[in-house]
Amino acid sequence: MNSFWFAYYCVCLACSMLKTSALTESIAASQSLRDGETMVSNGGSFELGFFSPGNSKNRYLGIWYKNIPVRTIVWVANRKNPIKDMSGSLMINSTGSLLLSDGTNTVVWSTYSTRIPQSPVAQLLDSGNLVVRDIKDGDADSYLWQSFDYPSDTLLPGMKLGWNLRTHLNRRLSSWKSSDDPSPGELSNGIELDAYPQGVMRKGSRKYFRGGPWNGLRFSGAPELKSNPLFDFKFVSNQDEVYYQYRLLNTSVITRLVLNETTSTRQRYVWAEPDMSWKLYASVPRDYCDTYGLCGANGICIISDSPVCKCLEGFKPNFPQSWDAMDWSRGCIHNEPLDCRRKHGFIKFSGLKLPDTTYSWVNESMNLWECREECLKNCSCTAYTNSDIRGGGNGCALWFGDLVDIKQVSGGGQDLYIRMPTPHRENRSPVQIAMIVVPIASVCGLLLGVCYCFRQKLKPKGENEEDDHPDVFQGEDLDLPLFDLGTVARATENFSMNKKLGEGGFGPVYKGLLVDGQNIAVKRLSMSSGQGVNEFKNEVKLIAKLQHRNLVKLLGCCIEGDQKIVIYEYMPNGSLDSFLFDQTRGPSLDWSKRFNIICGIGRGLLYLHQDSRLRIIHRDLKASNVLLDDELNPKISDFGMARTFGGDQVAENTRRIVGTYGYMAPEYALYGLFSVKSDVFSFGILLLEIVSGKKNRGFDPSQNHHNLIGYAWQLWTEGRPLELVDSSLDYRLIQPEVKRCIHVGLLCVQQNPEDRPNMSTVVLMLNGESYLPQPKQPGLLIDVVPSETCSSSSKNESCSVTDFTITTLEAR
């Protein structure tokens, strides 16, 4: 009898074991993984299954280390949508999509495959990567989807932290909210795509910690990244990808990098045997000096000093009283202001974490001397260094504007050359100085007087009087090359009609070719335009100070007599509207290109609103003011209508409403009130136009809609948003991304400006990194009718608006 019961017990135990281990490393289309069952990688390193974190009763699908006694989660699928009971089930369908459902068959999480497989299978690899692949595909490393592309709070060896620029995928870590809640917390960490890419940890939208740019060997603020017996690492930056990655050298050691909300640090741990506990290898922030921007502009943080903040050599506190009270937020300014009419030099600083690269420029082919000369050419350039310090140094990185978040790095860091007024190295007595200065000043004064009289004599009659075209740049230093009229005329074949690209708001635009072979775009202010001078001056002054990959680059200007000309980089693909609303060229903009354009415009607008030296409201964002380079990357142009805001200013009112009907926010069209949120409204319309391939104005009236917004809103409320998509697109391949864009567009065009997201949130939303609330109905839809004095054409729609037709969108 005892042997019978023993045998019975063994059979039951075997059945129980069979139930929990029947699924090993993969599931096929005919199988599912239920709560209570697990999938184990082939080498037994990782396990996938359902779990409840901490004291929570919610169920999540996750991956954890198989052989570590204390369960350590490295990835969670349904972070935002927990299952309330143990009814969860994971399956893979015939199209290669993973579907996680609850007991009511409601899908709480899913993936999407970019191509249809013949025999899809979901497999947990021994690296901790959950992949979907086609077993009919001969390439075992070709995945339809992988969890490594969608990290949670943990970076494992072999994972990439950063961007796939071809698919616009941004792999960022985000912390758990708490030990009981794996949904994304405030902390996130990733690579930011500035001209000189850098590692940045954010707390919400605010920069919290910055590791600095990659200098060829390591991030400039991460001295602990050096050769070691445990792991090696690399940083890749090219036209396809920008990412950081590390891999194990000693496979007997287990490591992970985790973003921890509770301690507010990013930590790398090492699993060490035989004591079976996590050992800390390094963590950031390391000390007080790692607080982002602690010492303000042009300040440096030295942790061994007291106080830790001081101004860089050659600088002084901007507000001495606040500085002495240890409020360093207002930073430092030059002891002697930089004057571009004088010679400048540079002071070399060593052992630094390089400053924030938001306002930077990089050329990998320049040497250090060429880099110095390039910086001297531009008065806005404040510092330079090698972008790569390997082999004695190569490449060039320039900074523009204030230098922020500099730290003295013990045992690491690198050199930085900061611009200064050329110092006087000889100490002379006042008498000696007077003996030198007085004669020189006398001679210069005499020469200036003669030149002035000579010029006045040569001036045409009436030029000394105020007129409609004053010298708008008199007394202003634009830090911008000046072209002579002859050079511009030769470049455009004397402004030939054959070279004309189009007609802007205040004059024609021509294509030109300089003697060095560079193509240029030449915007010539129409002499008959009475109001154009101010806009011309505004555009040149603003854009001369801007540096961003998604803003058109100003190369120079020409000011001779009544000629006012701006010279831009040439955009070979013209304006976005020439593609978007053209039946022939439109289909060439597939969804990947359109999404790249949407994201690029968003980043450019974010720079104007938040990251540029001036807070700039564009006020005329539209498809014809977005230019496309040879790779169809977008660049915002035409800053004639733009306005600058002070640091604390959030809105302004104007009686002169300028812009383009069809793109104006209601509060601006009705009351002249504009802000960053009025630009957000214009961006929302432009986004919906890019998705649909249709203009907001001139929408088919047979649809009983006054414009595109009304049609988009109806489709959204009826649960049919994808019907908005341009018929030339195969939207089936990218449904989640398209739907997210439509969702963001509707959030941007909400009637109340306070309901609209700011551009930093918009950029996060577009990349799937932020929660999307339900949009409120647009409310007032403005159909603006131009007055008789406002000219309108397909190429010139900017005007002052005086008459309105207002329609109210009724709730459905």
- Report the side by side order of strands in the sheet with 198-203: 173-178, 181-192, 198-203, 206-213
Question: Of all residues in the chain, what percent are helix, strand and coil, respectively (each to 5)?
Answer: 25, 30, 45
CA–CA separation, 628 vs 635, rounded Å?
6
CA–CA separation, 810 vs 812, rounded Å?
6
Tokens representing residue 41 in the block: 């990688």
Contact (Cβ atoms closer than 8 angstroms) between residue 130 and residue 113: no
Contact (Cβ atoms closer than 8 angstroms) between residue 75 and residue 128: yes
Helices 676-692, 591-606: axis angle to 10 degrees equals 170
CA–CA separation, 249 vs 236, rounded Å?
19
Alpha carbon separation from 64 to 33, 108, 126, 129, 717 (Å, rounded): 16, 20, 11, 11, 40
What letter represents residue 637's amino acid? S
Which one of 102, 153, 194, 620 is the catalytic residue?
Answer: 620
- Say if residue 382 is exposed, middle or buried (CB neighbours under 10 Å; 0-12, 13-18, 19+): buried
H or E segment to which residue 8 belongs:
helix 2-21
- Say if residue 324 is exposed, middle or buried (CB neighbours under 10 Å; 0-12, 13-18, 19+): exposed
Give the angle subtended at the CA of 633 by the CAs of 630 and 636, to the nearest 5°.
Answer: 115
CA–CA separation, 200 vs 758, rounded Å?
20
CA–CA separation, 450 vs 448, rounded Å?
5
Respond yes or no on whether the N-terminal peptide bond of residue 430 is cis (omega within 30° of 0).
no
Nearest alpha carbon to residue 110 among 73, 162, 75, 145: 145
- Say if residue 83 is exposed, middle or buried (CB neighbours under 10 Å; 0-12, 13-18, 19+): buried
CA–CA separation, 124 vs 77, rounded Å?
13
CA 334 remoteness from chain centre: 30
Alpha carbon separation from 1 to 5, 6, 7, 8, 204 (Å, rounded): 6, 9, 10, 11, 67
CA 267 remoteness from chain centre: 25
- Say if residue 137 is exposed, middle or buried (CB neighbours under 10 Å; 0-12, 13-18, 19+): middle
Q: Is 50 helix (H, G, I), strand (E, B) or coil?
A: strand
Residue 381 dihedral angles phi and psi, to the nearest 5°:
-75, 125
- Say if residue 347 is exposed, middle or buried (CB neighbours under 10 Å; 0-12, 13-18, 19+): middle
Total residue length of the chain:
812
CA–CA separation, 377 vs 362, rounded Å?
15
CB neighbour burial string for 193-219, b if at least 16 within 10 angstroms, e if fewer: bbbbbbbbbbbeeebbbbbbbbbbbbb
H or E segment to which residue 455 belongs:
helix 430-458
What letter represents residue 681's amino acid? F
Give the angle subtended at the CA of 193 by the CAs of 191 and 198, to the nearest 5°.
Answer: 50
- List of residues 6+ apart from 695 with CB closer than 8 A: 581, 662, 689, 708
Torsion of CA 434, 437, 439, 445, to 10 degrees: -130
What letter represents residue 412's amino acid? G
- List of residues 6+ apart from 758 with CB closer than 8 A: 609, 610, 676, 677, 680
CA gyration radius, the chain: 31
134 is catalytic: no
The set of catalytic residues is 620
